[in-house]
Amino acid sequence: MSSPSKRRDMDVMKLMMTDYKVETVDDSVSQFFVEFNGPPDSLYSGGVWRVRVELPDAYPYKSPSIGFINRIYHPNIDEMSGSVCLDVINQTWSPMFDLVNIFEVFLPQLLLYPNPADPLNGEAAALMMRDRPVYEQKVKEHCLKYAKAEDLENKENDDEESDDDDYENYKTSDDEMEVEGL
């Protein structure tokens, strides 16, 4: 690819051609939502999350910002802001990766193999290490309460203003890194 903008367009189109539901913000390929299902055979199986993606101008040379809009209980995801702590997105991103990698490999792996040693949600990390059965029950309860497919469908039928509200409360993984001084 000769330019980052062509690569960005191609990667977004490639993601749209998969089974993922992609909803652009103001017809922009720089900001969009992806409907993400919890990996089968995981604690998150059956859960559906709305994930916000922001592509910087320098994408694919600079990593996208990823964040869960509806709540998820996970040691490496901030429960309130939805920001994701994942090295491959935040620090070790490579232009060899694309958006499909994020949704088919990186996020499923994060949900399957949480790292409580590097938490954004200290409570979840401590609970996971201290009492695994209680942690697993809390994950399942959050999935039932906050990650039902019908809730996402109802959200899509709400006013367009709600997307703006979501955006205002949303923090990117880059924002979290700035807070942490990284």
Q: What tokens does 123 get?
A: 């409570």
Give the structural domain span for 143. Answer: 4-147
Q: Note whether residue 60 is domain-resident.
A: yes
Q: What is the mean pLDDT of residues 131-160?
A: 82
Q: What tokens does 65 get?
A: 């910002």
pLDDT in tens, 52-89: 999 999 999 999 999 999 999 999 999 999 999 888 88
Sign of CA dihedral 134, 67, 48, 38: negative
Write the CA distances from 174 to 29, 63, 122, integer angstroms: 19, 9, 19
Residue 104 CA to residue 84 CA, distance in Å, equals 16
pLDDT in tens, 112-139: 999 999 899 999 999 999 999 999 999 9
Q: What is the CATH number of the domain that holds 55?
A: 3.10.110.10
- pLDDT score recorded for residue 161: 46
Write the CA distances from 48 to 30, 72, 110, integer angstroms: 22, 10, 15
pTM over 0.85: no
Report the catalytic residues.
85
Q: Note whether residue 85 is domain-resident.
A: yes
